[in-house]
Amino acid sequence: MLGTTLAADATAQQRERWVAFAFTGADLLVEATPDGVICFAAGPFRLRFGAEPESFVGQRATALIAAPDQSSFGVMLGMAALHGRTSPVVLHLNDAARTPCAVAAMLVPGPRQRLCLTFGPVAAAVPSRPAPEPARLGGSGPFGREAEAWLRGGVSGSLGLVEVQGWNTARETMSEPEFDGLRARIGAALANAQPGALAGELADGRFGVLSAGRLDMAAVAGEVMALLPDSPARTADDVPGLVLALGGHGLTPFQAVRAARFALGRFAQEGTGAVLAEGAGQGLAGVIAHAHAQARGMRTAIRERQFSLGFQPVVGLADRAVHHHEALLRPGRGGAAPAHTPQEFVIFAEAVGLSEELDFAVLEQSLLALDRTRGTSVAVNVSGLSMQSPAFRTRMLERITAERGLAGKSGRPRLIVELTETAEIEDVAGAAATIRQLREAGVPVCIDDFGAGNAAFRYLRDFTVDFVKIDGSYVHGAMHSAQERGFVAAMVQLARSVAARVVAEMIETEAQATLMSELQVEFGQGWLFGRPGKLMAVA
């Protein structure tokens, strides 16, 4: 009897899905968890992606979207989770044709919350951005974040890396249309390596492929080599490929994320050989093992403060007055750390489990800088990895509350904590309590890189914060796309609905500053207002 009832319920639920499907006029219908993992799919998936809809269950919905549009899609999911629904937005599918699609999302409340996503045809009158070049799939940011999301969710699969030697030479010897055509063909070959695969160009001539299945990177590299201009001297070594398994590596999700982030960073900077030198021949576990063998140098560099801080101004867009400065890490040259760029330094520290030590050292140095100046305010970054740790949260609160005068004579706080999305914070209650205590101590909290990933939206939902910093990719995109401007406006409205003030980063031109001001962004940061430098006293 119970089985009959359950079967009837399932049939009724399926009928409701298809009725909704018919009324939306959608081509594809997807249900996903609030975190974006597909739990139901229907429609002509085989026509679009070469695989049945059932094969996408368990994958992240982001994999359906072309990488340049993935950040926008992430914003959509975040908006739907917080506001309940979104209006249709034109995005491109991750199929071979990069088909433009009108995508809408709605949150179905209840004990088993889910997001209903519809992918429908684009009306002729609806403006759309040009379809992205298949190879130029969003750079390392969206591609890296998607790889990390798979690892955090325990999804198995493959991360493939392929490098084209002589890429710049090809650029110089080919006409611009020929080179653009080459890049497009390479992108299509990578994206079609397997059904539902996600491809991204991490740096010039360096590409990544993310797949739920097992990748044959030798075959993929061979396809890429066949697309390159003929050369008598060309060999298979000119297109080295490497594949790292995402599952079965014996690492915790956090360890796997750190290893993948470090490997992708090294690949983007120096190519396949550099990743192999970091232990990638033994997979993600090999990357972690190799990094730990060099951890002593990083620990020494942090302990002995073999780094400096540059302070970049954040100004009011209305009056251009400096509101505060962000403390940005600058590694010392010739130090003990096996990393020399700011990004590499931070990623390596995370990979070997030293993010807490690094974040606390930056906090200490920032407080010392504040002690030597007057009338200044400084924002310090605290990673999601550090905020996971009860010990770090306690230590940070004790150090901050022991510091006098952080509220400032004018009542303006002298210290701001920026929460970065380096990892999903699982201990939401503990982190929320710490944020509440920081604010009670007169230290505001800012969500960094808002819109760059889904976690930032969950932070806005779970934590009470004072500032939201919009990811710089939206600042640049808004100059050329009405859709991106709409996303910025929606994020501003969302932040203001929870009484958070908005900062836009990476502002480099007056035109960008004017547009952000028109979109009601209150503060700006970027080279237009000043590069990182010494912290100067304000009278």
Residue ranges of the chain assigned to CATH 3.30.450.20: 18-120
Q: Are 85 and 118 in contact (CB under 8 A)?
A: no
Three-class SS state of 516:
helix
The residue among 132, 124, 277 whose CA lies nearest residue 191 is 132
Listed in order, the ranges of the chain carrying CATH 3.20.20.450 are: 306-525
Q: Give the model's confidence band at 381: pLDDT under 50 very low, under 70 low, under 90 confident, else very high.
A: very high
Query: Average pLDDT in the 361-387 region?
Result: 92
User: H or E stretch including 79?
Assistant: helix 70-83
Q: Which residue has the higher pLDDT, 144 or 438?
A: 438
What's the whole-number mean pLDDT along residues 160-174? 85
Confidence (pLDDT) at 234: 56
Report the SS3 class of residue 307.
Answer: strand
Assigned CATH for 18-120: 3.30.450.20
Alpha-carbon 48 to chain mean position: 26
Distances (CA, A) of 451 to 74, 105, 161, 444: 7, 16, 26, 20
- CA angle (461 as vertex; 458, 465 as ends), nearest 5: 105
pLDDT band at 370 (very low <50, low <70, confident <90, very high): very high
pLDDT at 5 over 50: no
| pLDDT (mean) for 103-130 | 72
- In whole angstroms, give the CA distance from residue 171 to residue 319: 44
Mean per-residue pLDDT over the chain, rounded: 81
Q: What is the CATH number of domain 306-525?
A: 3.20.20.450
Residue 539 has a pLDDT of 52
> pLDDT class for 129, splitting at 50, 70, 90?
very low
Distance CA 291, CA 278 (A): 7
3-state SS, residue 395: helix
Range with the poorest average pLDDT among 8-22, 52-66, 184-198, 408-422: 8-22
Q: How far is CA 84 from the centre of its chain?
A: 23
Helix (H) or strand (E) holding 31: strand 28-32
Report residue 5: phi and psi, to 5°: -65, -45
Is residue 136 within a helix (H) or strand (E), and if so which, with residue range? none
pLDDT for residue 366? 95
Provide the token pair at 37: 């993992």
Buried residues in 78-112 as b, exposed as e (16+ CB within 10 A) = bbbbbeeebebbbbbbbbeebbbbbbbbbbeeeee
Is the confidence at residue 350, as pLDDT, over 90? no
1, with CB counted inside 10 A (0-12, 13-18, 19+), is: exposed
E strands along 347-411, which residues? 378-383
Over 90: is that where the pLDDT of 395 sits? Answer: yes
Confidence (pLDDT) at 43: 83
Distance in angstroms (rounded) separating the CA atoms of residues 64 and 31: 13
Tell me how far apart the alpha carbons of residues 304 and 185 are, in angstroms, rounded to a whole number: 49
Residue 128, pLDDT > 80, answer no
The predicted-structure confidence for 321-332, as pLDDT tens digits, reads as follows 999 999 999 988
CA-based nearest residue to 209, from 254, 282, 147, 152: 147
Q: Which fold has domain 140-293?
A: Alpha-Beta Plaits (3.30.70)
Give the pTM.
Answer: 0.75
Above pLDDT 70, what percent of the chain?
85
88 pLDDT higher than 50: yes
Which of the listed ranges 266-275, 446-455, 508-517 does the model predict with the highest average pLDDT?
508-517
Mapping DSSP to helix (H, G, I), strand (E, B) and coil, where does residue 269 land? helix
Quick one: pLDDT at residue 324? 95
Contacts of 174 (CB under 8 A, 6+ apart): 182, 229
Which of 115, 14, 98 is CA-nearest to residue 48?
A: 98
Q: Give the pLDDT of residue 12.
A: 45
Contact by Cβ (8 Å): 281, 504: no
Statement: residue 18 has pLDDT above 70: no
If pLDDT is split at 50, 70 and 90, which confidence band does 4 have? very low
- Segments of the chain assigned to CATH 3.30.70: 140-293
Collapsing DSSP states into helix, strand and coil, what is residue 170?
helix
**Are 266 and 278 within 8 A, CB to CB?**
yes
